[in-house]
Amino acid sequence: MPRPMTIGEKILARASGTKSVSPGDIVLAKLDLCLGNDITAPLAIQAFRDNGGKKVFDRKRVALVPDHFTPNKDIKSAEQAKILRDFAREQKLLYYWDQGECGVEHALLPEQGVVVPGDLVIGADSHTCTYGALGAFSTGVGSTDLGAAMLTGKAWFKVPPTIKLVFKGRLPKDVTGKDLILLAIGRLGVEGANYRALEITGPVIGKLSMEGRLTMANMAIEAGAKTGIVPPDAVTRAFEEGRAQRPPRYYESDPEAEYERVETFDVTGMEPVVAKPNLPSNVVPVSKARNVALDQAIIGSCTNGRIEDLREAAKLLKGRKVSPRCRTIVIPATPLVWKQAMKEGLFDIFIDAGCIVSPPTCGPCLGGHMGILAKGERAVATTNRNFTGRMGHVESEVYLASAGVAAASAIKGRLALPAEVRGADWAKGVRR
């Protein structure tokens, strides 16, 4: 009889054709999807060709998304994107997006139903772990690994042990999935879950939207995790209905499944948090950092560029102006999010408030374009990393926060709580 297993272990067992796996096992597994972007895929394509590749293992299982430096910011980025475009046409890839159809990969693929629950996915981008929000096992790899996967449709895995995160209590107003994952990273540290799977559970997660879950799974890597998995439930099934491009497989962890440890978070009374430079684990309540003046606010990215995030920001920005000292850039993550935001009148709110609205792109998140920081400048961003020089000059600073905190901070010109903008007290000593 197979040993009791977690969701991640079940997916790896299924994909490797074995009845059960245990942490530490080495398995060769069949992939449901592999993907690359305009930074990583050109190297993977070269590795594919260097190893005699003529045809990808399955044109319906390889996805290419030119999203990091697009719309092309210079000649080099244009040439990178052209490599993807030419390869996609040559291989007749089903999943390739370009021009007005392209969005940020980790928002685009779940939205389009390309990744489905139960999948085993690798991507040459560290935030491929995003798809764990659907109940998939997804992880980032190097470009050479992607090249081999495009050729063979397989990859080697060492089965990771699993840390269970349990979120309980009552979720306060303005506290989002971004705050919850930052809270967890603050406790675990940026290396606290190295080569572990994070199983993200608890009654608070059960009530969280898919957007919030995607945000949390996206940042599992910031604790060093191999992947972050949210057990699929009614929210997952509703999200996949009419969207999934392939039949989903809904796995759940066995009651007797073994975990390396369990970390419990009671979020009752929690306030929104911010990750100070230069690590995502440098987490403090926003009220403890309200003296930080800002030069820029970014609302977008694969972490927080979905429609829920834009709505959250728009509620605060409506009828208000951003600070003259804080340029504010709003980047919808996909064309569908862009269209929905426009349909709902969110763009009018943003532009009237003094914001810049960008086409979908990763852009400033990685210091690519559309919002680079100069020496000495500070930004609040809904992105996922704040390492030294991440968004520009090595002497610039990035503070990670939710869309609501970013919008409130843009209005105040300093780190601020949404409650401050609404005129309400959040806690003793926190006033307008």
- For the four alpha carbons of 176, 227, 7 and 107, in that order, the dihedral sign comes to positive
How far is 176 from 248, CA to CA, in rounded Å? 27
- Which segments of the chain have a pLDDT < 70? 1, 424-432
Q: Is 137 in a helix, a strand, or coil?
A: strand
d(CA 432, CA 241): 44
* Res 424: pLDDT: 62
pLDDT given for residue 425 in this prediction:
54
Distance (Å) of CA 332 to CA 218, 265, 269, 388, 403: 17, 31, 31, 25, 12
Q: Which residues contact 339 (CB under 8 A, 6 or more apart)?
A: none
> Rounded to an integer, what distance in angstroms lies between the CA atom of residue 185 and that of residue 165?
11
- Using CA atoms, how far apart are residues 420 and 413, in angstroms rounded to an integer? 12
Rounded-to-integer distance, Cα 219 and Cα 184, Å? 10
pTM for the model? 0.95
Rounded to 5 degrees, φ, ψ at 64 are -125, 130
Model confidence pLDDT, tens digit, residues 302-329: 999 999 999 999 999 999 999 999 999 9
Which CATH code fits 7-264? 3.30.499.10
> 288 Cβ partners below 8 Å, 6+ apart?
none
The β-bridge partners of 331 are 300
The structural domains of the chain, with segments of one domain joined by +, span 7-264, 274-419
Shared fold status for 7-264 and 274-419 = yes
E strand or H helix that includes residue 278: none
Q: What residues contact 216, with CB distance under 8 A and at least 6 apart? A: 133, 177, 178, 180, 181, 200, 205, 208, 228, 230
Architecture of domain 274-419 in CATH? 2-Layer Sandwich (3.30)
Neighbours of 348 (CB within 10 A): 13
pLDDT score, position 427 = 47
What pLDDT score does 99 carry? 86
